[in-house]
Amino acid sequence: MPTSCSSRTSTALSPDLSVRPASSPCQTEGEVVAIAQAGAGIFWLELALSLLPMSPMAGQFAMVGFKDTQDPLLNRPLSIASFEAGSTGCRVGFLVAIRGKGTRRLAEARQGHKLRVIIPMGQSFLRHVGPDQRRIIAVAGGVGVAPMVLLGRQIKQVSPEADFLLLYGAKTKAELAKRHLGLTDGLYVATEDGSEGFKGRVTELVEAERALLLQAGGSAKVFACGPLPMLYALNKLAERHRFDLVVSFEGPMGCGMGFCLGCAMENREGMYVKLCQKGPVMDAKEVDWERLTRSDELRGAGCDFKPA
């Protein structure tokens, strides 16, 4: 059984940040216990941790890196998709899309391979959920579904009354990682080529299924994660249809720990905030959407989107 991360009381406030980190991460070793294809270009990665971290909350992420090489050097941020702690140890699961050097090497890891893991980091979706929340609508594009897997499991603990719907879009059926969602009810799928579910983008599906938002007394909250163009379009919808939108950003990060200021993102007041501590989950109202997309600042997200 893994030993628990030492927890010491600290009165110090994160100096230039009003948000206290949601939790204290710990650094540990993660041994690959399962790795499997989850869809075209997407795989499921499950690690057994040798330390027991604080329990992660949906929307939080881990920094995952290689111990046996310095190329790639930096740890990669990955949303926590599952977490189980038992008497025999603890396991964390990720859904990973192969994008570049780091994720490609991750995909080639075999059982027994040991990775560096710093976990859990950042703000969670859960702090945006009240106990009286009746409906949570998660909107996910591509591998942005990863945090929603954990959200689907945790939401019942936080708001037992809430129903949870997942609107999940991908380019094609092959790219859907449905097997790992742990969901059957309340799943609405969109594919751009119509090979499964609604034909079109997931934002179009949101528009089409707008009725879902209006039920449950109008108190539905939309949580979203996916490519920047999707989030941008969703925000437009939120403004038009006046629903609450909370988004998670996958912008590039250096350390994920608040040390380097490498994850700066401009907020509505024109101030740079650290996405790794203030985010990745943020209220859409705090975001300066026009600047974000105009200035191409989240180019790291692989976004070639130019707003019209």
Partner 1 sequence: MTSNRLEVTFLGKTIKNPIVAASGCYGYGLEQPELLPPEAFGAITLKGLSATPKRGNPPPRIAETPCGMLNSIGLENVGIEAFAKNTWPHLRGLGVPIIANFFGDDETEFQKAAQMLSDLEGLFAMELNLSCPNKPQWGRILASDPKVASRLVRLIKPLCRYPLIVKLSPNVASISEVAKACEDSGADALSLINTLLGMAIDVDAKSSRLGTRFGGLSGPSIYPIALRMVSEVSRAVRIPIVGMGGVSSPEDAIGMMLAGASLVGVGTLLLVNPFGVEEIKQGMLAYLDRHGLEKVACLQGRL
Ligand X SMILES: Cc1cc2nc3c(=O)[nH]c(=O)nc-3n(C[C@H](O)[C@H](O)[C@H](O)COP(=O)(O)O)c2cc1C
Contacting ligand FES (CB under 6 A), which of 88, 239, 259, 271?
259
Is there binding between residue 218 and ligand FAD (CB under 6 A)?
A: no
Distance CA 48, CA 67 (A): 15
Minimum Å gap between C-beta 32 and a copy of itself is 11
Contact letters (x/-) for ligand FES, 80-119, by CB under 6 A?
Answer: ----------------------------------------
Is there binding between residue 46 and ligand FAD (CB under 6 A)?
A: no
* Residue with smaller CB distance to a copy of itself, 113 or 171: 113
* Residue with smaller CB distance to ligand X, 214 or 261: 261
How would you classify the pairing of strands 89-97 and 82-86?
Answer: antiparallel
Is there binding between residue 254 and ligand FES (CB under 6 A)?
A: yes
Among positions 270-299, residues that touch ligand FAD (CB under 6 A) are 280
Name the β-bridge partners of 225: 140, 248
* Residue with smaller CB distance to partner 1, 202 or 273: 273
Distance CA 113, CA 134 (A): 42
Cβ atoms < 10 Å from Cβ of 136:
26
Distance CA 79, CA 225 (A): 10
Is there binding between residue 74 and ligand FES (CB under 6 A)?
A: no
Q: Which of the choices ligand FAD, partner 1, ligand X, none does residue 85 contact, using the CB cut-off of 5 to 8 A by kind?
A: none
Is there binding between residue 260 and ligand X (CB under 6 A)?
A: yes
How would you classify the pairing of strands 198-199 and 187-191?
Answer: parallel
Dihedral sign from CA coordinates of 302, 102, 189, 121: negative
Residue 116 in contact with residue 75, Cβ under 8 Å? yes
Distance CA 93, CA 21 (A): 22
Is there binding between residue 301 and ligand FES (CB under 6 A)?
A: no
How would you classify the pairing of strands 272-274 and 264-266?
Answer: antiparallel
Minimum Å gap between C-beta 255 and partner 1 is 4
Q: Which residues contact 11 (CB under 8 A, 6 or more apart)?
A: none
Residue 57 in contact with residue 126, Cβ under 8 Å? yes
* Residue with smaller CB distance to a copy of itself, 55 or 111: 111
Is there binding between residue 105 and a copy of itself (CB under 8 A)?
A: yes
Is there binding between residue 100 and a copy of itself (CB under 8 A)?
A: no
Contacting ligand FES (CB under 6 A), which of 85, 98, 260, 301?
260
Distance CA 205, CA 139 (A): 10
Tokens of 198: 């609604």
Among positions 252-271, residues that touch ligand FAD (CB under 6 A) are 252-253
> Among 214, 225, 219, which residue's Cα sits nearest to residue 281?
225
Distance CA 249, CA 43 (A): 20
Tokens of 125: 């979706």
Closest CB to ligand X belongs to which residue? 260
Distance CA 8, CA 122 (A): 19
- Name the site residues for ligand FAD (rule: CB under 6 A): 61, 72, 76-79, 94-97, 99-103, 143, 146, 250-253, 280, 300-302
- Name the site residues for partner 1 (rule: CB under 8 A): 5-8, 10-16, 21, 24-27, 65, 70-75, 116, 118, 251-255, 257-265, 272, 277, 295, 297-300, 304
- Name the site residues for a copy of itself (rule: CB under 8 A): 68-72, 104-105, 108, 110, 113
- Name the site residues for ligand X (rule: CB under 6 A): 260, 262
